[in-house]
């Protein structure tokens, strides 16, 4: 097999917030795995920059522990010893002057320089200003920013303004880690690499589309962030929106950043204003062992949602009349994320009414296992007339591809795309703003009506009202965890 590694040149990656949770759980382990796969050339440097008073050796220790915990390697691992050698640390004050000259002195001219802003958005301005003032920004400089990118349209615009004052849009990488997931990219491969589906991919043949991102975890230690955010801001405005875009968009002329992002933007702009009775909000109750949402966020009056189900329409020629149902929540029955394209029944059954009604379904499974299933109708074997049966044509990536299906974590892919300078899987400024422009009126509506989410049992399918949303239309959700 041809090597799957696309080499990159030596680079410097600076992680602001280098001792934080994201660095520990995702960024540093992802870099280690790319190093293990020999994609990161030795000579590249990864520099942690944070307020914590530590030296490079202590940062290496921190990274070592993070990698051992996340990548299932031992402390004695040889790659690990080599990898941490490439790490350095600068104690820096984002709002003051300390550390900036030290950081500047560490950087090598003439190579890609990526600054990862793994800090709250309130620090973006200060970081950007200091990078500029200390002349650390050149043509090869990139910055990476995490979600949440604002909490509404006006704050997102303000952030875009702050960043665009110092960086060109081609230097700004707004991460939505769902775009780095292998199956999400596979969705594009399935749609645009095959002739089978695209002719049917429209309202003439598609009855509806279901997008579900279900989690079993609660809000964990992120209560105070989550109570101000809720599922709409935390998941729908970004991750589910991206899944919807990739499912609904027109084929771009080529797989290049602006061609893809132009098409996604058109989808967001074509979304209808969702009517209040087409959105169900839920909040999880306590279970025998686990606390309730309100306990987790330490706010007994919280009106924030941990679950959303909604129906929307992409108002364009391709999708007129085909509803998109989106659903996401925490503390649901299973970790289960998927996109299901439900095709219409055959227009006429030659087998008579007793054969029943049947339709095809294409199911693209993101989590926990990655795979694609096409449900087709066949004759039930044996005598007894023409009895029809729906069976899955199943392609579990793990079974079909074996070790080749070992998919990298989304962050591995995305960080290397930053180094390579490929923005295809990152959100553009106008895309983020359009997503907020769609989300804002929905949230404002809840606030002005004093809407209270419906309680649901922990580890269930969510509130019963979410089922009703579908049942009213004569449809049903696929059961979470089935």
Which residues form the catalytic set?
239
CB closer to ligand BG6 out of 84 and 232: 232
Please tell me whether residue 206 adopts helix, strand or coil conformation. Answer: strand
Structure tokens at 46: 């990864």
Q: How far is the CB of 225 from ligand BG6 (least distance, A)?
A: 8
Closest to 271 (Cα-Cα) out of 437, 105, 385: 437
Please tell me whether residue 24 adopts helix, strand or coil conformation. Answer: helix
Q: How far is the CB of 189 from ligand BG6 (least distance, A)?
A: 20
Measured at the alpha carbon of residue 305, what is the angle toward residues 304 and 307, in degrees to the nearest 5?
Answer: 170
CB closer to ligand BG6 out of 141 and 185: 185
CB atoms within 10 A of CB 136: 17
- Distance CA(447)–CA(449), nearest Å, equals 5
Which residue has 């962050």 as its token pair?
A: 411
What residues form DSSP beta bridges with 338? Answer: 212, 365
User: How far is C-alpha 54 from the geometric centre of its chain's CA atoms?
Assistant: 32
DSSP state of 170: G
Structure tokens at 365: 């499974």
Q: How far is the CB of 367 from ligand BG6 (least distance, A)?
A: 6
DSSP state of 460: B
Q: How far is the CB of 385 from ligand BG6 (least distance, A)?
A: 46
CB closer to ligand BG6 out of 62 and 411: 411
Which residue number is nearest to ligand BG6 in terms of Cβ? Answer: 234
User: How far is C-alpha 342 from the geometric centre of its chain's CA atoms?
Assistant: 23
Q: How far is the CB of 291 from ligand BG6 (least distance, A)?
A: 17
DSSP result, 379-430: EPSSSSS--EEEEEEEEEHHHHHGGGG-PPPHHHHHHHHHHHT--TTSB-HH
CB closer to ligand BG6 out of 141 and 306: 306
CB closer to ligand BG6 out of 242 and 460: 242
CB closer to ligand BG6 out of 212 and 292: 212
Cα dist. 330→18, 26, 409 in Å?
28, 20, 21
Chain positions contacting ligand BG6, by CB under 6 A: 147, 215, 234, 367
Q: How far is the CB of 235 from ligand BG6 (least distance, A)?
A: 6
Cα dist. 250→188, 217, 263, 385, 427 in Å?
11, 34, 6, 43, 17
Closest to 237 (Cα-Cα) out of 435, 430, 426, 446: 435
Q: How far is the CB of 193 from ligand BG6 (least distance, A)?
A: 24
CB closer to ligand BG6 out of 42 and 224: 224
Q: How far is the CB of 359 from ligand BG6 (least distance, A)?
A: 28
**What are φ and ψ of residue 248, in 5° steps?**
-95, -15
User: How far is C-alpha 185 from the geometric centre of its chain's CA atoms?
Assistant: 11
Burial of 430 (0-12, 13-18, 19+ CB in 10 A): middle
């Amino acid at each position: 097999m041809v090597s799957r590694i696309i080499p990159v040149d030596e680079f410097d990656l600076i992680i602001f917030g280098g001792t934080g949770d994201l660095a520990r759980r995702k960024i540093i382990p992802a870099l280690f795995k790319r190093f293990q796969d020999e994609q990161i050339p030795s000579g590249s440097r990864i520099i942690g920059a944070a307020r914590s008073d530590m030296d490079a050796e202590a940062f290496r220790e921190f990274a070592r522990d993070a990698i051992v915990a996340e990548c299932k390697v031992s402390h004695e691992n040889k790659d690990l010893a080599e990898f941490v050698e490439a790490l350095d640390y600068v104690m820096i004050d984002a709002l003051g002057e300390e550390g900036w000259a030290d950081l500047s002195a560490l950087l090598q001219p003439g190579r890609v320089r990526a600054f990862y802003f793994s800090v709250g958005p309130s620090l973006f301005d200060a970081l950007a200003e200091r990078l500029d003032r200390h002349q650390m920004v050149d043509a090869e400089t990139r910055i990476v920013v995490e979600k949440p990118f604002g909490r509404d349209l006006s704050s997102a615009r303000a952030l875009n303004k702050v960043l665009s004052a110092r960086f060109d849009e081609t230097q700004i990488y707004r991460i939505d880690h769902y775009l780095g997931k292998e199956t999400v990219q596979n969705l594009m491969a399935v749609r645009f690499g095959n002739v089978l589906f695209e002719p049917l991919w429209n309202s003439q043949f598609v009855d509806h589309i279901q997008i579900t991102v279900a989690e079993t975890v609660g809000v964990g230690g992120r209560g105070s962030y989550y109570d101000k955010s809720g599922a709409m801001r935390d998941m729908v405005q970004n991750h589910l929106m991206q899944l919807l875009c990739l499912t609904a968009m027109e084929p771009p002329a080529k797989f290049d950043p602006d061609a893809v992002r132009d098409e996604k933007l058109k989808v967001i702009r074509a979304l209808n204003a969702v009517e209040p009775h087409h959105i169900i909000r839920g909040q999880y109750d306590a279970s025998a062992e686990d606390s309730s949402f309100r306990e987790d966020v330490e706010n007994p009056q919280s009106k924030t949602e941990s679950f959303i189900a909604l129906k929307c329409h992409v108002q364009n020629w391709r999708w007129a009349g085909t509803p998109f149902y989106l659903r996401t929540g925490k503390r649901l029955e299973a970790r289960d994320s998927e996109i299901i394209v439900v095709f219409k029944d055959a227009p006429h059954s030659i087998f008579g009414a007793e054969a029943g009604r049947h339709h095809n379904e294409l199911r693209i499974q993101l989590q926990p296992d990655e795979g694609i299933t096409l449900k087709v109708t066949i004759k039930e074997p044996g005598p007894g007339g023409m009895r029809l049966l729906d069976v899955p044509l199943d392609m579990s990536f793990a079974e079909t591809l074996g070790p080749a299906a070992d998919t990298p974590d989304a962050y591995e892919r995305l960080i290397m795309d930053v180094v390579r300078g490929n923005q295809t899987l990152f959100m553009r400024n106008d895309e983020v703003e359009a997503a907020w422009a769609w989300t804002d009126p929905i949230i404002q509506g809840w606030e002005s009506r004093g809407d209270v989410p419906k309680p649901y049992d922990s580890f269930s399918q969510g509130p019963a009202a979410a089922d009703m949303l579908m049942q009213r239309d004569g449809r049903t959700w696929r059961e979470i965890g089935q």
